[in-house]
Amino acid sequence: MRVWALPLALVALVSCVTQSVPRRQQARVQIVPSRPVVVDPVALAKRLRSMQHGWPASRKFDCARLKCVALTFDDGPGEHTGRLLDMLRQRDVRATFFVIGQMVAADKGGRTVRRIVDDGHEIGNHSWSHPPLAELPHEALKKELKHTENIVQRLTGVRMRVMRPPYGSTDDDVAAETRREGLAQILWNVDTLDWQDRVATTVAKRAGAAKPGSIVLLHDIHRSTVDAVPAMLDTLGRKGYTFVTVSELYGKTPAPGRTYTAR
């Protein structure tokens, strides 16, 4: 179905549902005046598109020729994520968010994760409670991935294709389980150490040292990291970098189970 047809299909769907409401229920609605249901066709079309297989549809960047960099934000969504999303939207920049299941569960009915998806960013699995996965018994490891996968899919409709092991802790068992779950393991080659040094200028400077094809590790739960983003984007933008998601960096969905640190 073409994207422009989605709003029409939705209107048709909504009217079908309305017509199928039993007569008695309709009468009750008439007695108690209720607000009309407002359907935002654009938002719903976006949501449906993001539920399709293969989302996010990669914009076509040839990162073999362009200077590409993938900014990645871990451990959220948190209280500063909304502000970060505003900044990225304002500059039409896309990034990758590796979310923690527990944080998603605490996120006001999934408002922030839905916005991450709606704004076209890539979303990845960063476990449920942030343990070092290589140290876990197999069943616990499975649960860490599965619970986060389930909540993100329930709230956004998106089936994640990438994951980041907390602390970069991985082994053969983690590789096998991520392969089974259809998740590529995404590490990094630029560490801003933003969790340690909560100084925006320091974080921006370290991110600015990225090379073509770099994956930059950041954490959107820290105010100083979000404060560093405008300078980071300015510095890298001046050097001619294109900001891409992890999947865009490789030009395809990375292979499940495999480990990636940079292009």
Write out the residues near Zn ion by the rule CB under 5 A.
Answer: 74-75, 166
Smallest gap from residue 167 Cβ to Zn ion (A): 7
Nearer to Zn ion, 74 or 220 (CB): 74
- Closest CB to Zn ion among residues 75, 194: 75
Pairing mode of beta strands 96-99, 122-125:
parallel
State which residue, 166 or 257, has the beta carbon closest to Zn ion: 166
Closest approach of Cβ 236 to Zn ion, in Å?
Answer: 22
Give all strands (DSSP E) within 107-219, no chain letters: 122-125, 162-163, 184-186, 190-191, 214-219
- Residue closest to Zn ion, measured at CB: 74
Distance of alpha carbon 31 from alpha carbon 26, whole angstroms: 9
3-state secondary structure of 186: strand
For residue 18, the number of C-alpha atoms closer than 13 Å in the C-beta half-sphere is 9
Q: Is 74 assigned a catalytic role?
A: yes
Rg (CA), the chain: 20
List the structure tokens of 148: 């986060």
Active-site pick, 121, 126, 147, 219 = 219
Residue 169 CB, nearest approach to Zn ion (Å): 10
Q: Out of 74, 75, 194, 227, pick the active-site residue.
A: 74
Q: Which C-beta is closer to Zn ion: that of 102 or that of 235?
A: 102
End-to-end CA distance of the chain: 34
Q: Is 147 a catalytic residue?
A: no
Catalytic residues: 74, 219
